[in-house]
Structure 1
Amino acid sequence: MTLESFRDELAATACTIAAQGKGLLAADESNGTIGKRFAAIGVDNSEEHRRAYRSLLASTPDLDDAISGVILFEETLFQDSVDAGGQPGPPIVELFQSQGIVPGIKVDQGVEPLAGGLPGESWCTGLKGLQERAARYYARGARFAKWRAVLKISPEGCPSELCVRENAWGLARYARTVQEEGLVPIVEPEILMDGDHDIETTAAVQEWVLRTVYEALSHNGVFLEGSLLKPSMTLPGKDCASAPSPDQVAQFSLRTLERTVPVSVPAILFLSGGLSEEEASVYLNGINRAISPAPWHLGFSYGRALQQSCLKHWAGHDVHGGQQALLARARANGQAAQGFYVSGSEPSDGTPLYEANYSY
């Protein structure tokens, strides 16, 4: 098979994910990372508990009202579900599909230190064997993929030219490779919130990064109409003395995207990147209120900002409570993706979610 043979399907899948008022549930935490989440609620990190929790997500009624797709970890893509009573059920992927939620898969294999880069810089691994893995994931039902590159801003000069170019090229090679096997690539160049830099600095770096990414995608012949972008919102460093207003976040985020992202890309799905559940909804709402109509669907691809309250209410046993908490944050973000979310109108546990040098 070739990209050409999948072109129409890739475009259709991307448009399905880019549905109005919807976004992605990022449930692709590695076993180590989900273990940290479970430890916070007193649940052992066992295969049984991971299966039960991901089954909770997949069986949440009416989740498709605000969720168009779900990013899965490889273990979950091949797991069968269990019901609230612990009885075996159909494959987890089929539960999502039964609601019209498109399954996707995290395909990168994590970051490693970048040889020749500045201290703390990384590159993303996983290209070896990717074509074969992508074909296997497609056969299992996945229809899109995700690859996360990580960049940071620091007084020492990060990100370096080498780091930006290496991560842009890795994203482009990944994107072209999975398109050859029928998977829509989500391109994710995340700029971490670590640091005390101002929002203008973030905007300048993010413009550079995104321009370089789309140059690399072009060189690799990536079909943009069958791709999606998952960027950070344009935010100051977490330790910046002045916190931005939702209007400022909207102004800088939109300016950055308008200067760098082709309109042929169907959707821009923001990552939450350590924002609290409520902050992620409020900022997304501000972005959508500031531009109408936008040249792209401006949605969300949230992990912690959709699941924090869900995990807390589930606590290893309360499936209904966990599902209701998940639905509340899904509704909030579905409304924010249309610019009419009212802050505080949906419950949230309010826990800060920022982690320095976040990995998963």
Structure 2
Amino acid sequence: MSKAEQRAQMINGTGFIAALDQSGGSTPKALALYGVEASDYSSEEEMFGEIQKMRARIILADDFTKDKVIGAILFERTLGEEIEGRKVADYLWSVKGIVPFLKIDKGLEDRANGVQMMKPIPGLAETLAKADGVFGTKERSVIHEANADGIAAVVAQQFDVAREVTDAGMVPIVEPEVNIHSATKAEAEDILKAEILKNLDQLAEGQEVMLKLTIPTKANLYDALADHPRVLRVVALSGGYSTEEACDLLGLNGKMIASFSRALTEGLSKQQSDVEFNAALGANIDKIYKASV
């Protein structure tokens, strides 16, 4: 693996980052949308087996290539899984040319001060040390309202984790999501931008991050973040928007690319034939790619 090649792809690559990091909490809903009901599996092991089959089907699809998908975010358990005899992260980079990332957060605390902080991440150093072939990480918080103290706390926590990731030689994707249904979404985004800029300015030379943000209410609000010397790329989460709406909104922001999860898998079903599945996935990939370029 060449970190330099992967870094170059993250800076200059044309396309988007696929979010394939469904975890224990989000897996049942993701499977239900895919046509796998809770009655179809009888244990957590079987549930994770079903979601891995879905991930593998996506990764193996003809249109899932570096020409349009420059990176992919994985769940920690996925690192131990294999596709065609290779560990998933190795398969992504060595076979598909797609840069692998790892979701490291352990979920969210209860809502306070208008936000949800990340839960503690025990054993992070050990997780990073054994993440073979992984270029970077992703860690998510959620902002529900324009509470300055809450947003400042979220961003400070995100950058504390980011420094631990950079110290391990990896690139963190900082993800302070703003709830798309917030009544004060635009105001929260203004506060968030200022807090991120403040924390970016405090990073040391050589410390680099990526940012994963909700598509802003004000188009191109985050251009200054994309231009910051400590930022490799600014990517957008779909946040509950439909694929079409997310792509339309993203297309208004010239310096953001997509990092979609649910919007990427919209319309996919276990019951589809491979031809039907690949056609539906290919259509989603094309939409997201066009919105990202």
Q: TM-score band, normalised by the shorter chain?
A: 0.7 to 0.9
Superposed, 1:281-300 pairs within 5 Å as 281-288=247-254, 297-300=255-258
1:185 maps to which residue? 172
Superposed, 1:1-360 pairs within 5 Å as 9=3, 13-40=6-33, 41-43=35-37, 44-45=40-41, 46-64=47-65, 65-81=67-83, 89-97=85-93, 98-113=95-110, 117-118=112-113, 121-137=115-131, 140-153=132-145, 159-195=146-182, 197=183, 201-221=184-204, 223=206, 226-235=208-217, 252-254=218-220, 256-258=221-223, 262-264=227-229, 265-288=231-254, 297-310=255-268, 312=269, 314-315=270-271, 318-338=273-293
Distance of 2:97 and 2:53 partners within structure 1? 21
Contact 1:173 1:220 in 2 (8 A): no
Distance of 1:12 and 1:125 partners within structure 2? 33
Change (3 A) 1:216 1:53: same
Change (3 A) 1:74 1:221: same
For 1:164, the aligned partner's letter is I
Q: CA deviation at 1:222?
A: 7.2
Q: Secondary structure at the match of 1:266?
A: strand
Change (3 A) 1:173 1:276: same
Distance of 1:258 and 1:48 partners within structure 2? 40
Contact 1:19 1:68 in 2 (8 A): no
Contact 1:15 1:266 in 2 (8 A): no
Distance of 1:107 and 1:27 partners within structure 2? 13
RMSD after superposition: 2.4
**Cα deviation digits, residues 162-182 of structure 1 (max 9, x gap):** 311221111101111111112
Contact 1:23 1:66 in 2 (8 A): yes
Q: Secondary structure at the match of 2:117?
A: strand
Identity of paired residues, percent? 25
Distance of 1:48 and 1:260 partners within structure 2? 38
**Structure 1 residues without counterparts, runs of 5 or longer:** 1-7, 82-87, 154-158, 236-251, 289-296, 339-360
**Cα deviation digits, residues 98-131 of structure 1 (max 9, x gap):** 11001111011111125xx33x632112443222
Change (3 A) 1:186 1:223: farther
Change (3 A) 1:128 1:49: closer
Change (3 A) 1:222 1:63: farther
Q: TM-score under structure 1 normalisation?
A: 0.71
1:357 maps to which residue? none
Q: CA deviation at 1:89?
A: 3.6
2:44 maps to which residue? none
Distance of 2:224 and 2:90 partners within structure 1? 39
Distance of 2:205 and 2:59 partners within structure 1? 31
Distance of 2:205 and 2:210 partners within structure 1? 11
**Cα deviation digits, residues 14-49 of structure 1 (max 9, x gap):** 431244431100010113312112224144352331
Change (3 A) 1:129 1:210: farther
Q: CA deviation at 1:328?
A: 1.6
Q: Secondary structure at the match of 1:228?
A: strand
**Structure 2 residues without counterparts, runs of 5 or longer:** 42-46
Distance of 1:126 and 1:102 partners within structure 2? 26
Q: CA deviation at 1:320?
A: 4.0
Q: CA deviation at 1:300?
A: 0.7
Q: TM-score under structure 2 normalisation?
A: 0.86
Contact 1:285 1:337 in 2 (8 A): yes
Q: CA deviation at 1:263?
A: 3.0
